[in-house]
Chains A and B, each alone.
Chain A
Amino acid sequence: MTTVRVFGIGERKDRRSVRLSPAAVSYLQATPLTVILAAFLLVPILMILVVSFWDYDFAQMYPDFLTMNYTETLGSWVTWKIYLNTLKYALMVWALTLFIGFWVAYFLAFHIRTTAMQMVLFLVCTVPFLTSNIIRMISWIPVLGRNGLVNSLLIDAHVISEPVEWLLYSDFAVVLAMVHLYTLFMVTPIFNTLMRIDKSLVEAARDAGASSWQTLTNVILPLAKPGMAIGTIFVVTLVMADFSTVQVMSGGQSASVALMMKNQMSLLQYPAAAANAVVLLALVLLMVAGILRIVDIRKEL
């Protein structure tokens, strides 16, 4: 025995369904991310902004509206020196990571023929990043130290008679460690843009009589700009916000903005640290805006 059902007949018509306008559906779909961003990004930034105007003493914060935290921060030559020092690190690390990152990405994208091998080598680049930042940084100490690997090698080879002092706990060590930590952030976006360059463009350039160097400067570099810009944003923001590398590798002899904030917080000077954070945020946003003005990265997103 079979039951024949005809559509529209015998179906309950009173089933309740909620009809939403298309606009409401779109808003609903965007809600989860909006909530997450609001709770974990917008609200904390607003809190920092609010706190930066508060008053404080050695034990407590007092809600208020004072510009004292800003005038103190910006009025002190120590702050300016620390900002300059941080910018110096950012500039040096940026230049080095850009140089190294571009050539690594170039090698991977244009000199490795098979995609499988490209992926393998790229993964090899990322292997060190499976360990913690701190461990990778600290492992430089036995290498660079007074009686470390480099110094003992150089002494054994009779290149020097006294250990080189500036290898560790110096700007050199800070920059070296940062380059080590952040180069991959440059390699990845550049590799990504280079992989998208049509190989026939290189052939077309060769057909037009371009030497390898001319092809690089006239075709590959201009087309790699968006990747370089993204990598630059990563590296600059990371370096500007770094405090652990500066603290460990300079042995407390150099300071960065983030390190200054960390010290202020350990003294419970939260409003002062907040004011500093607002200034740093404004500075970094300005730098990012500057980069985006120079290079159009929309194609990459």
Chain B
Amino acid sequence: MSKATEIDIVSVSKIYGATTAVHAISLKIPAGTYCCLLGPSGCGKTSTLRMIAGHEAISSGDIRLGNTVVTDFPPARRGTAMMFQSYALFPHLDLVDNVAFSLKMKGIEKDERRAKAMDLLRLMQLEGYATRRPAQLSGGQQQRVALARALITDPEALLLDEPLSALDPFLKIRMRAELKKLQTSLGITFVHVTHSQEEAMALADLIVVMNDGRIEQAAHPRTVFEQPATAFVARFMGDHNVISGRVKEDRGGTLLLSVPAGGDFLAMDRGASRQAETADIAVRTDRVRIGPPAEKGLGFTGSVTNVEYRGSSVKLSVTGAGIEDFTAILTDHQFFANPVKVGEAIPLCWDVEDAVVLGRLTH
């Protein structure tokens, strides 16, 4: 039943009256990809998904699915299926009729559509609940019904609008694994909207980080994590300290940054700085160590403002050298070998490859 398709978004905008929700974004989602649209609320990720689904008119630009331009198609003719945030199951129908709904709309015979619906309920391990109403199911079961209902049309792409947000934390992690397994076995394209970077990291082959109606970075999770494209991505993904300052010296390959009323910092530059006056650099929190820096610009001395024990790791907040709230994550082993207390002044250091120069979006 799998016939994955590529989704091509070409400078698509969404304008609501005077506000622009999506600013001419372009994105290519390869066939069979698990793509996560990630961003804070109001960043335009849901509008983008709804435009792909056809539930929101596209103000300008085009969307292509495979070789067809679907910009002006109604949702059902696009070959996509959408799973809604609240699942939108029909409360007056039992599970079989819920799942068979789209077949009924196509005018398929009752026996045939019920048989197909039962197949999908079996796939979701819900065949025992076939005659129940959605209200009699738990959140996780409702979600599986919604998935079954979306998949019965044999879609080329499944669009999921924050599918895990209504579940409790344990169920969230379990359903996450099920979603990934389902996507792998079906082989179709999934586009999943979420505001949780953890969820996106766990699921996606392609993370699209959005902010303020624009795409900040679209890449494999590992790239997004290790080489965040912008300061926003670095902050939003967490696990990075972002330091902003004036460019003091461009040594070609490395950059020396000077923080106002603070120290100088060295970072790897892969061409992101573009010879600008100012720049942002990101330092991985888990690569920071306590100790004097090997080279000038790869560390600073600050006072500890907070110590947070997290079991396998300890989170230190350090202020100094013009930097507020610098985070260092130490393993419990490292920390307890040489414990520090709040108020103590400590030297921090890191390696040059753990500090990268971030780019800036040119609007």
Contact residues of A with B, CB < 8 Å? 198, 200-201, 203-211, 214, 218-219, 222-223
- Using known A-B contacts A214-B105, A218-B101, A218-B104, determine if residue A206 contacts B88 with beta carbons closer than 8 Å: no
Please determine whether B86 and A198 come into contact, CB atoms closer than 8 angstroms: yes
Please determine whether A208 and B105 come into contact, CB atoms closer than 8 angstroms: yes
Extra pairs beyond A210-B105, A218-B104, A222-B92 (11, CB < 8 Å): A200-B88, A203-B84, A204-B89, A204-B90, A204-B149, A206-B75, A209-B75, A209-B106, A219-B90, A223-B91, A223-B92
How distant is the Cα of A279 from the Cα of B81 in the complex, in angstroms? 57
Please determine whether A207 and B75 come into contact, CB atoms closer than 8 angstroms: yes
Contact with A along B87-103 (1 / 0, CB 8 A): 01111100000000110
How distant is the Cα of A210 from the Cα of B120 in the complex, in angstroms? 20
Chain B residues in 8 Å Cβ range of A207: 53, 55, 75-76, 81-82, 102, 150
A-B contacts counted at CB < 8 A amount to 59
Chain B residues in 8 Å Cβ range of A209: 75-77, 102, 105-106, 153
Question: Shortest CB–CB separation between residue B155 and chain A, in angstroms?
Answer: 10
Closest to B74 in A: A206
Question: Shortest CB–CB separation between residue B105 and chain A, in angstroms?
Answer: 5
How distant is the Cα of A209 from the Cα of B102 in the complex, in angstroms? 6
Contact with A along B36-57 (1 / 0, CB 8 A): 0000000000000000010100
- B237-279 residues at the A interface, CB under 8 angstroms: none
Question: Shortest CB–CB separation between residue B47 and chain A, in angstroms?
Answer: 14
How distant is the Cα of A242 from the Cα of B59 in the complex, in angstroms? 56
- Using known A-B contacts A208-B76, A208-B153, determine if residue A203 contacts B105 with beta carbons closer than 8 Å: no
Chain A residues in 8 Å Cβ range of B150: 207
Closest to A203 in B: B55
Question: Shortest CB–CB separation between residue B190 and chain A, in angstroms?
Answer: 16
Chain B residues in 8 Å Cβ range of A198: 86, 88
Question: Shortest CB–CB separation between residue B80 and chain A, in angstroms?
Answer: 8
Question: Shortest CB–CB separation between residue B274 and chain A, in angstroms?
Answer: 43
Question: Shortest CB–CB separation between residue B71 and chain A, in angstroms?
Answer: 17
Question: Shortest CB–CB separation between residue A295 and chain B, in angstroms?
Answer: 11
How distant is the Cα of A207 from the Cα of B104 in the complex, in angstroms? 13
Question: Shortest CB–CB separation between residue B330 and chain A, in angstroms?
Answer: 46
Chain A residues in 8 Å Cβ range of B104: 218
Q: Name, among B84, B90, B150, the residue most crowded by chain A CB atoms within 10 Å (CB to CB).
A: B90
How distant is the Cα of A211 from the Cα of B77 in the complex, in angstroms? 12
Contact with A along B129-158 (1 / 0, CB 8 A): 000000000000000000001100100000
Please determine whether A204 and B105 come into contact, CB atoms closer than 8 angstroms: no
Q: Name, among A201, A204, A214, A222, the residue most crowded by chain B CB atoms within 10 Å (CB to CB).
A: A204
Top 10 closest A-B pairs, CB basis? A209-B76, A208-B102, A204-B88, A200-B88, A210-B105, A222-B92, A207-B75, A209-B105, A200-B84, A207-B82
Chain B residues in 8 Å Cβ range of A201: 88, 90
Sample 24 A-B pairs with CB under 8 A, ordered by A number: A198-B86, A198-B88, A200-B85, A203-B55, A203-B88, A204-B82, A204-B90, A204-B149, A205-B90, A206-B74, A207-B55, A207-B76, A207-B82, A207-B102, A208-B76, A208-B153, A209-B102, A209-B105, A209-B106, A210-B102, A218-B101, A218-B105, A219-B90, A222-B92
How distant is the Cα of A201 from the Cα of B92 in the complex, in angstroms? 11
Chain B residues in 8 Å Cβ range of A211: 105
Please determine whether A200 and B74 come into contact, CB atoms closer than 8 angstroms: no
The 8 Å CB contact of A205, one of B53, B91, B101, B153, is: B101
- Using known A-B contacts A206-B55, A207-B53, A218-B104, determine if residue A200 contacts B75 with beta carbons closer than 8 Å: no
Question: Shortest CB–CB separation between residue A83 and chain B, in angstroms?
Answer: 35
Chain A residues in 8 Å Cβ range of B74: 206
Question: Shortest CB–CB separation between residue B98 and chain A, in angstroms?
Answer: 9
Closest to A201 in B: B88
Chain B residues in 8 Å Cβ range of A200: 84-86, 88
Question: Shortest CB–CB separation between residue B153 and chain A, in angstroms?
Answer: 7
- B190-220 residues at the A interface, CB under 8 angstroms: none
Question: Shortest CB–CB separation between residue B308 and chain A, in angstroms?
Answer: 40
- Using known A-B contacts A200-B84, A203-B84, determine if residue A208 contacts B101 with beta carbons closer than 8 Å: yes
Closest to A208 in B: B102
How distant is the Cα of A211 from the Cα of B82 in the complex, in angstroms? 17
Closest to A209 in B: B76
Chain A residues in 8 Å Cβ range of B105: 205, 208-211, 214, 218
How distant is the Cα of A222 from the Cα of B55 in the complex, in angstroms? 23
How distant is the Cα of A208 from the Cα of B86 in the complex, in angstroms? 16
- Using known A-B contacts A214-B105, A218-B104, A223-B91, determine if residue A204 contacts B76 with beta carbons closer than 8 Å: no
Question: Shortest CB–CB separation between residue B152 and chain A, in angstroms?
Answer: 9
